Structure formats: structure tokens, C-alpha cells
A = this chain, B = another copy of it.
């Protein structure tokens, strides 16, 4: 009896949205509005996937959050899995770019790792448009997508691996394990982080690297 409360969800025929109402609305050109709905769907899907998981999020949930009906989703995406792949890929691309931008110009290897951690936390914990999804999606229901998802994730993990490679670590430290534990701590953060915490995302990232640094 886990029925949700999505019973009487009659869509209000308000149609209050008049294009003329907002002067700052995008021009009816084709440059920015092209694929706008698609991005909007991705944004809502990312939020829902991130908080409920893939299976617990329904197409109708995503559609309702976007303001359309379930069937209309299929004009923009071929399947639910396609939405996930798009969202996952965009999130990975976003966090990769954020980290690359953050470490640019930083020289010291440990400072670079710290900058990467801060950027990662800001992206993952901050109110990002398209939250990254790095949850354990070995989930068997996404088995068919696993190769695709791993490929998307590998791009980011390579960046981190390079950062770890440059560190001056004791010779008995397994760098692969170091990277996995570092990413594990980062990826676990969305589980416990609440925006009202006394520590900002940047503080959290900084402290993480601070604890790993040789003292």
C-alpha cells in the first residue's frame, strides 16, 4: 500500500503563461529556445533521479515537474533510460568542466586536489541546475546502460586520477585506492549533506583534502 498521493492531479487549465507577459522572455528566435524544453526535462529528471533514484522516479513525475503530461515526454526523449543517460552525461560533463576550471593555474599538486574537491562539492552539493548523479548505478535494472554510464564517468575519473598521480605520496600508498577512497568520500556526501549545515560545500571539500594532506 505504497500508493502515492498523485491521485487527483488534474492539470489546471490556467494557461496563465502568456508569452507577452514577460518582457525578458527569450525572443521567439530559434537560438536559445531550441531544446529548451528538453533541458527543462533534464533538469527536473536530474533532481528527481538524484533524490528518489531511477526506478522510484516515474515518467509522470518528471512530466508533472516540467508542467506537461507523461506522454509528451516522448516527443523529446525516446525512453526513460535515454533521459537518464542524457542527464548523467550532462552532469559528468558539467562537473568535469568545473573541476578543470578550478585547477587551472594552480601549481602545487595538493592545492590542485583541494581545488578539485572544492569544485566537486560546490557542484554536487550546491543548488546546481543539473545535479550530478554518481550514485551506485550498478543497479541491475540499468545493466544495459552500464557500459555507457561507465564511459561517461571514466572521463571524470581520469581527471582525478591524474591529480592523484601528481601527488607526493609515500611509496607504500596505493594510488588507485587513494583515488577510490577520495571519490567515495565525495560521492557519499549527498547522502548526509543538508544545505542548512554550518559548513559550506567549499568548507567540506577543503577539510577533506586537509585531512589527507601529509602533516
| A interface with B by C-beta (< 8 Å) | 2, 51-53, 55-56, 81, 135-136, 138-141, 170, 172-174, 177-178, 180-192, 199, 204, 207-208, 210-212, 214-215
**Residue pair A215, B135 in contact (C-beta under 8 Å):** no
Which 5 pairs, one residue from A and one from B, show the smallest C-beta to C-beta distance? A184-B188, A55-B55, A181-B185, A184-B185, A56-B141
Chain B hits for A173, CB < 8 A: 207, 210-211
**Residue pair A199, B184 in contact (C-beta under 8 Å):** no
Nearest CB in chain B to that of A53: its residue? B139
Considering the chains assembled together, what is the distance between the CA atoms of A191 and B184 in angstroms? 9
A136 vs chain B, min Cβ distance (A):
5
Q: Which of B183, B207, B212 is within 8 Å of A212, CB to CB? A: B212
**Residue pair B138, A211 in contact (C-beta under 8 Å):** no
Considering the chains assembled together, what is the distance between the CA atoms of A183 and B199 in angstroms? 18
Q: Which of B51, B178, B204, B214 is within 8 Å of A215, CB to CB? A: B214
Besides A52-B141, A177-B208, 5 more A-B contacts (Cβ < 8 Å) are: A55-B56, A56-B141, A136-B191, A177-B207, A184-B189
Considering the chains assembled together, what is the distance between the CA atoms of A177 and B141 in angstroms? 33
Decide yes or no: A211 and B139 within 8 Å by CB, A184-B184, A184-B188, A188-B185 being known contacts: no
**Residue pair B55, A53 in contact (C-beta under 8 Å):** yes
Considering the chains assembled together, what is the distance between the CA atoms of A142 and B180 in angstroms? 28
Considering the chains assembled together, what is the distance between the CA atoms of A26 and B119 in angstroms? 58
Considering the chains assembled together, what is the distance between the CA atoms of A162 and B72 in angstroms? 53
Interface centre among A140, A204, A212, by most chain B C-beta atoms within 10 angstroms, is A140
Considering the chains assembled together, what is the distance between the CA atoms of A2 and B84 in angstroms? 14
Interface centre among A177, A182, A215, by most chain B C-beta atoms within 10 angstroms, is A177
